[in-house]
Amino acid sequence: MMLDVSVLAGWIERLTGSIEREQEHLTELDAAIGDGDHGANMARGFKAVREKIAQGKSETPADLFKLVAMTLISTVGGASGPLYGTFFLEASKAAGDARALDLASLHTVLAAGLAGVRMRGKAVPGDKTMVDALTPAVDALVGDGDLRKALEAAAVAAADGAEQTRPLVAHKGRASYLGERAIGHKDPGAASSVLLFASLAQEVAELEA
Ligand code: ADP
Ligand code: MG
């Protein structure tokens, strides 16, 4: 199976739904070690994305990712908006004029997105941020195996990565102001990054079923 623009739009719609369902949970995580707005930030951003996608037709994966990027950057205040915006903007650039992505090109495109997040936020794995979930997820897409299985592995890797933020002290973002008081809490941005990969894995599993 190839990920064309309609499959990818299905992913973003599914992601929007899961962010809405998880909004309160994301807010609780951010209330513990941040300012309690991560759920609202993500929900506001993706609601706007849904409206934009409904308004016009994207021709290519790159067009769709650019629309997501621009909408997130312009509607989400807070650190996560520009960071997820950068993720989709760099993914858009890497997608070029491809009409559809296979596993190898998906890996290239999402690795470019992650590189953008790391460049912009200057976080490395272990800093207790979204990078801790995104990095193992993108790494799980290496190889030329089955797309559906790779995406399932990526979703599991993201969830493990997010879980592993729990014992960490934060080195970036608001949680870094808390020092050792952040220990024991899962990073909210890592939790929302899990939704990104879980929703893509679900979309592909459902289409292939
Ligand atoms: P804010 O911190 O401005 O309130 P959000 O609550 O929406 O923004 O997002 C917080 C999340 O953003 C954190 O949980 C973390 O995962 C992520 N984050 C914050 N700063 C950085 C950074 N420099 N690099 C990567 N991710 C970051
Ligand atoms: Mg916040």
DSSP 19-76: HHHHHHHHHHHHHHHS-S-HHHHHHHHHHHHHHHHHHS---SHHHHHHHHHHHHHHH-
User: How many residues can be counted in the chain?
Assistant: 209
- Decide: 161 in ligand 1 pocket, CB within 6 A: no
Please report the pLDDT score of residue 171 as a whole number. 98
What is the percent of the chain with per-residue pLDDT over 70, rounded to a whole number?
Answer: 100
Distance of CA 32 to the CA centre of its chain: 21
Reported as a pLDDT band with limits 50, 70 and 90, residue 88 is: very high
- Decide: 44 in ligand 1 pocket, CB within 6 A: no
d(Cα 175, Cα 188) in Å, to the nearest integer? 10
Give yes or no for a contact between 124 and 134, defined as CB atoms under 8 angstroms apart.
Answer: no
Assess whether pLDDT exceeds 90 at residue 56.
Answer: no
Please report the pLDDT score of residue 143 as a whole number. 83
Question: Ligand 1 centre and the CA of 83: distance in Å?
Answer: 8
Please report the pLDDT score of residue 57 as a whole number. 86
Residues at Cβ < 5 Å from ligand 2 ion: 30, 34-35, 37-38
What mean pLDDT is predicted for residues 75-97? 97
- Decide: 173 in ligand 1 pocket, CB within 6 A: yes
Assess whether pLDDT exceeds 90 at residue 96.
Answer: yes
- Decide: 190 in ligand 1 pocket, CB within 6 A: yes
Question: Ligand 2 centre and the CA of 39: distance in Å?
Answer: 8
Burial of 119 from C-beta contacts in 10 A (0-12 / 13-18 / 19+): exposed
- Decide: 39 in ligand 1 pocket, CB within 6 A: no
- Decide: 116 in ligand 1 pocket, CB within 6 A: no
Helix (H, G, I), strand (E, B) or coil at 1: coil
Assess whether pLDDT exceeds 90 at residue 209.
Answer: no
d(Cα 126, Cα 68) in Å, to the nearest integer? 27
Give yes or no for a contact between 122 and 172, defined as CB atoms under 8 angstroms apart.
Answer: yes
pLDDT tens-digit map of 6-41: 999 999 999 999 999 999 999 999 999 999 999 999
Assess whether pLDDT exceeds 90 at residue 87.
Answer: yes
- Decide: 16 in ligand 1 pocket, CB within 6 A: no
Helix (H, G, I), strand (E, B) or coil at 82: helix
- Decide: 121 in ligand 1 pocket, CB within 6 A: yes
pLDDT tens-digit map of 133-169: 999 999 999 988 999 999 999 999 999 999 999 999 9
Question: Ligand 2 centre and the CA of 183: distance in Å?
Answer: 17
Ligand nearest to the backbone CA of 72: 1
Question: Ligand 1 centre and the CA of 49: distance in Å?
Answer: 20
pTM metric for this prediction:
0.97
